[in-house]
Structure 1
C-alpha cells in the first residue's frame, strides 16, 4: 500500500468520524436507556446485543421491547416493526441516486447502517458532491458500533436501576421529539407534524391498538404533499 493510499484511507476515516461523532454522542444515552428498558422487559445482555446488531433501528427496538413487555405476539411485533421501518425504503431510494456505480456487496453493507440520523448527515453531503461511499459507511458503522455497545452496557447496568427511575421510560418519546425538531426545516414540515399529531389523537380515541399511528402518519404525509404541490403550482402560475 502506497503512502498516497494510506493518506486517502486516513482522510475518509477522519471525514466520516468528523461528520458522525454527533450521532454517536446522541446514541450513547438513548442506547443505554434502551438497554435498561430491554433488561426490565426480560431480555439478557446477549439478546439485547443481538437485537441491536440484527435490527439496528432505535425506534423499532423501543417499540418491540414495549410490545414484549405488554405480552404481544411475535407476529404483531414483527408486523409493527416492519411497518415502522418502511421509511428506510424511501431513505435508501434517495441515497441510491448517488451510489449507482457502487458494488452491490458494499451497497448492502451500507444499507444495513442507514438510520434517520445517518441519513440526515450523509444526504446533504452527497447533494453537495463532497461525499463518498467510504465516508458515508464510516458514519453509518461508527454509529452502529456506538449503538451496540451502549445498548449492551444499558442491559448489563439495568439490573442496578429501579424500574421507572431517571425518566428512562420517557426515552422513546424524547427521541422522537428530537427527530421531529431536527426535521422541521420549512413551514410545510411543521404543518404536516401538526396534522399528524391531531389525526393521531383523534384516531387513538376511535381505533384500538397502535395502528392509529401508522394511519395518522400516512394521512399527514399525503395531505402535506398535496398542500405543497398546490402552493408550488400557484407560485409557478403567478411567477
Structure 2
C-alpha cells in the first residue's frame, strides 16, 4: 500500500503527520508560551521538558506553574491536575470504540497521547465518515507530542530573556487557541447539536466569570468545568 492519503480516507503514519500539520502552529505557539512561563516560574529546561513529556497537557501545565508559584502542596497539585485533565478520559472513551480490534497496549498509547487538538481532528474525520487506521492515529498523536516538547524547550530558552510574560499576553495564549478551535467548528447556521455545545460553553463562561469574584482562579476553573459537564448532561438527555 502506498504511503499516501487515499480517496477512501487515511491509512498511513504519514497521513497522520499531514493531518496534524494544520494544528502544528497552535502547538508551537502555546508550547513556546508555556516554556517562557515555565522559566519565569523557576523551572529549568530539563524540568520543562520532563513536564511536557510526562504531563503533556497545556492547560494543566500552565495551572501547575501557578500552583508552584503559590507553594501549593504536592497533593493539591496532583488533585488539581487530575480534575483539569479529567476531560481526556471522556475523549479517550469516545475514541476507543473505533480501535476495538486493537490490543490494550495500543489503545492505552492512543489515549495517553490524545489532546484537545488531535481529538478535534479525529472527531472531524469521524464526522466526515472517512476511513482511518491505527497508523494514521499514531502519526497524528506522535507528531503533536514531539512538536509540543520541542516548542516548550525553545520557549524555555527564550524565556531566560523575558522577565514578565504577561506584558506580551502569553498567559492568554491557551485561551485564545481554544477559542479559535471552538469557532472553526461552527457555521453561521448552527445545527441542533451545535446549539447544545454553545449552551455548554456559555454556561462555563458565565459561571467562570461569576466564580472569579468569590474563589481563586484555579477553583473557579474546576467548578465551572463541572457546571459545563452538568449542563452538557442535561441538554444531551433532552433530545
The reply to whether TM is greater than 0.5 is: yes
Corresponding residue of 2:8: none
Deviation at 1:206, TM superposition (A): 3.3
Q: 1-side partners of 2:237 and 2:107: how far apart?
A: 33
Corresponding residue of 1:76: 76
Q: 1-side partners of 2:54 and 2:104: how far apart?
A: 19
Corresponding residue of 2:183: 181
Given candidates 216, 219, 223, the residue that maps to 1:211 is 219
| Mean Cα deviation higher: 191-200 or 15-24 | 191-200
**Pair 1:18 & 2:36 matched:** no
Q: 2-side partners of 1:72 and 1:89: how far apart?
A: 25
Q: 2-side partners of 1:32 and 1:110: how far apart?
A: 24
Deviation at 1:102, TM superposition (A): 0.5
> Which structure features the higher share of helix residues?
1
Deviation at 1:122, TM superposition (A): 1.4
Q: 1-side partners of 2:98 and 2:233: how far apart?
A: 24
1:58-207 alignment runs, 5 A limit = 58-126=58-126, 128-164=129-165, 165-182=167-184, 186-207=194-215
Q: Structure 1 13/84 Cα, relative in aligned 2: closer, same or farther at 3 Å?
A: same
Q: 2-side partners of 1:202 and 1:26: how far apart?
A: 29
Q: 2-side partners of 1:129 and 1:220: how far apart?
A: 30
Corresponding residue of 1:236: none
Q: Helix, strand or coil for the counterpart of 2:212?
A: helix
1:38-97 per-position Cα deviation (integer Å, ceiling 9, x unaligned): 001011111100111111111111111121122222211111110011111110111111
Conservation of the 8 A alpha-carbon contact between 1:37 and 1:158 = yes
Q: 1-side partners of 2:30 and 2:212: how far apart?
A: 26
Q: Structure 1 110/208 Cα, relative in aligned 2: closer, same or farther at 3 Å?
A: closer
Q: 2-side partners of 1:132 and 1:126: how far apart?
A: 12
Count of residues paired in the alignment: 226
What TM-score does the superposition give when structure 1 sets the normalisation length?
0.85
Q: 2-side partners of 1:110 and 1:66: how far apart?
A: 29
Query: What are structure 1's unaligned runs of at least 5 residues?
Result: 233-239
Q: 2-side partners of 1:194 and 1:43: how far apart?
A: 35
Task: Detail structure 1 runs of 4+ shifted over 4 Å in the superposition.
Answer: 8-11, 182-185
Conservation of the 8 A alpha-carbon contact between 2:26 and 2:177 = no
What TM-score does the superposition give when structure 2 sets the normalisation length?
0.85
CA RMSD of aligned residues (A): 2.2
Conservation of the 8 A alpha-carbon contact between 2:13 and 2:138 = no
Conservation of the 8 A alpha-carbon contact between 2:40 and 2:163 = no
